[in-house]
């Protein structure tokens, strides 16, 4: 098989729909461009929002992008926990939602630096095998803890056992793990930003054209500007 083309080159801001996997979106774009294609962090199939897809020579920028912080809008069902922390898992338990005071205490414990178990339905390798494959076979394993930083965890709405949150978190944070720690599961998740890149500037995968690719130099300029502004 001949090597993938290095052009068109750039970073695509793609608005991933709910349903397909991130890998399916990357493959779709690869077929259209014929270029080497990668990503800077996946989204679960049930999630939507900003996906950074790297094309051609810009795939070498992946190390500069994967560590950027993320922003999400999440909806959490506080009356039910699932095996995956999302709507695709099996129901583990049903219960009454926490009181207002108890919820406030749980939210406060999840702000700042936190350590939470990696969800069983994740791509983390356990003994050389992906955790989600073990979970599908019903193999129970002790999942490792992951340390991350929750910069902001703001309540947008809360009614009827349903909670809507705006989150600003460090790279590698599992929102499903946060939902589980709150005593529920994540029913909807939308990534609204990755570092200085916003979903408002993204396009659906079927509308992506080479003209919409951000040049590598522009990508690095935006990252540098964002870091300078944060200092």
Q: Per-residue pLDDT tens for 132-188? A: 665 555 556 666 778 999 999 999 999 999 999 999 999 989 999 999 999 999 999
CATH of the domain at 178: 3.30.2350.10
Residue 139 forms part of a structural domain: yes
Residue 31 forms part of a structural domain: yes
Q: What is the DSSP letter of 5?
A: B
**Same domain as 137, residue 78:** yes
Give the DSSP per-residue string, 125-137.
EETTEEHHHHHHT
Q: Which of 3-17, 129-143, 201-215 has the lowest mean pLDDT?
A: 129-143
Reduced to 3 states (helix: H, G, I; strand: E, B; else coil), residue 87 is: coil
Residue 3 forms part of a structural domain: no
**Per-residue pLDDT, 231:** 76
Give me the domain span that covers residue 25. 10-67+196-230
Which of 125, 130, 180, 175 lies closest to 150 in space, CA to CA? Answer: 175
**Same domain as 61, residue 75:** no
Catalytic residue, candidates 15, 44, 77, 180: 44
Q: Which of 107-111, 120-124, 214-218 has the lowest mean pLDDT?
A: 120-124
Residue 120 forms part of a structural domain: yes
For residue 165, give both structure tokens. Answer: 């949150």
**Same domain as 157, residue 184:** yes
Q: Which of 21-25, 106-110, 117-121, 197-201 has the lowest mean pLDDT?
A: 117-121
User: Measured between alpha carbons, how far is 25 from 173 in angstroms, rounded to an integer?
Assistant: 22
Q: Please, which residues have CB within 8 angstroms of residue 54's CB and are 6 or more apart in sequence?
A: 11, 12, 37, 38, 39, 40, 61, 62, 65
**Same domain as 50, residue 29:** yes
Q: Which of 27-31, 73-77, 227-231 has the lowest mean pLDDT?
A: 227-231
Residue with token string 């989150």: 167
**Same domain as 140, residue 87:** yes
Q: What is the DSSP letter of 84?
A: S
Mean pLDDT for the stretch of residues 55-82: 96
Backbone angles phi, psi at 106, to 5 degrees: -65, -40
**Same domain as 226, residue 136:** no
Of residues 118 and 164, which shows the higher confidence score? 164
Average pLDDT, the chain: 90
Q: Please, which residues have CB within 8 angstroms of residue 132's CB and are 6 or more apart in sequence?
A: 120, 121, 122, 123
Residue 1 forms part of a structural domain: no
**Same domain as 62, residue 113:** no
**Same domain as 79, residue 30:** no
Beta carbons within 10 angstroms of residue 133's beta carbon: 13
Of residues 4 and 170, which shows the higher confidence score? 170
**Same domain as 175, residue 77:** yes
Residue 1: is its pLDDT beyond 50? no
- Tell if the pTM clears 0.85, that is, is over it: yes
Burial zone of 29 (CB within 10 Å; 0-12 exposed, 13-18 middle, 19+ buried): buried
**Same domain as 170, residue 113:** yes
Residue 221 forms part of a structural domain: yes
**Same domain as 15, residue 102:** no
**Same domain as 75, residue 62:** no
Is 44 one of the annotated active-site residues of the chain? yes
Q: In the chain, how many domains are there?
A: 2
Mean pLDDT for the stretch of residues 193-215: 96
User: Measured between alpha carbons, how far is 110 from 17 in angstroms, rounded to an integer?
Assistant: 28
Pairing of strands 48-55, 37-39: antiparallel
Confidence class of residue 2 from pLDDT cuts 50, 70 and 90?
A: very low
Residue 38 forms part of a structural domain: yes
pLDDT in tens, 69-112: 999 999 999 999 998 889 988 898 999 999 999 999 999 999 99
Q: What is the DSSP letter of 121?
A: S
Residue 123 forms part of a structural domain: yes
Confidence class of residue 124 from pLDDT cuts 50, 70 and 90?
A: low
Percent of the chain with pLDDT over 70: 87
């Amino acid at each position: 098989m001949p090597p993938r083309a290095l052009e068109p080159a750039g970073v695509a801001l793609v608005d991933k729909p709910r349903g397909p996997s991130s890998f399916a979106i990357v493959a779709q774009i690869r077929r259209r461009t014929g270029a080497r294609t990668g990503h800077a962090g996946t989204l679960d199939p049930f999630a939507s929002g900003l996906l950074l897809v790297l094309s051609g020579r810009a795939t070498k920028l992946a190390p500069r992008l994967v560590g950027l912080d993320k922003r999400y809008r999440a909806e959490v069902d506080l009356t039910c926990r699932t095996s995956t922390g999302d709507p695709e898992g099996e129901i583990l338990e049903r219960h009454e939602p926490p009181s207002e005071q108890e919820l406030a205490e749980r939210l406060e414990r999840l702000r700042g630096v936190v350590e939470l178990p990696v969800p069983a339905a994740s791509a983390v390798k356990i003994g050389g095998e992906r955790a989600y494959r073990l979970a599908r076979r019903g193999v129970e394993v002790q999942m490792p803890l992951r340390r991350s930083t929750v910069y902001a965890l703001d309540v947008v709405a809360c009614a009827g056992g349903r909670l809507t949150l705006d989150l600003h978190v460090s790279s590698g944070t599992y929102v499903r793990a946060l939902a589980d720690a709150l005593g529920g599961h994540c029913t909807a998740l939308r990534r609204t930003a990755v570092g200085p890149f916003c979903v408002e500037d993204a396009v659906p995968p079927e509308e992506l054209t080479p003209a919409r690719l951000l040049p590598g130099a522009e990508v690095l300029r935006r990252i540098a500007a964002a870091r300078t502004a944060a200092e």
